[in-house]
Amino acid sequence: MKKDPIFGLDEPSTHDEYSELLTTVHDNVELSILRSILDGENIPYRVSERGSGSSVKIIMGYSMFGTDIYVPKAVFEQAKEVLEAYRNAEPVEEEDDPS
């Protein structure tokens, strides 16, 4: 992959030494779903836009640069398992109502 020396969009946004990059999403729907899942599991997280993403998001309603989701290192493995379960989940089939 070619490096982006000007904007640095190929690199995760900056973070502190106590957090770990969980994933990068590229649309508001997936961001909302992941925030809801992490909230439901009581996993703290921080959302950070790449590049000028927050300005672009205000103007266009979404960011084509991506949004990084960080979690504390202490709960990274738990958050990773939750994310993998969400992304690998089988569709839920509704049961037929016998009545």
Residue 66 confidence (pLDDT): 81
Helix (H) or strand (E) holding 87: helix 76-87
Give the helix/strand (H/E) hosting 80: helix 76-87
pLDDT at 12: 57
Does the residue 43 lie in any domain? yes
Domain that holds residue 78: 27-86
Q: Between the CA of residue 26 and those of 18, 40, 41, 97, what are the distances in Å?
A: 24, 21, 22, 38
pLDDT of amino acid 38 = 94
Is residue 59 included in any domain, yes or no? yes
Q: How many domains does the chain have?
A: 1
Instruction: Answer whether residue 16 is part of any domain.
Output: no
Q: Is there a domain that residue 66 lies in?
A: yes
* 90, pLDDT greater than 60: no
Supply the mean pLDDT for the chain.
76
pLDDT digits (tens, 9 = 90+) for 46-78: 988 876 545 555 555 666 678 889 999 999 999
Using 50, 70 and 90 to split pLDDT, how confident is the model at 87? confident
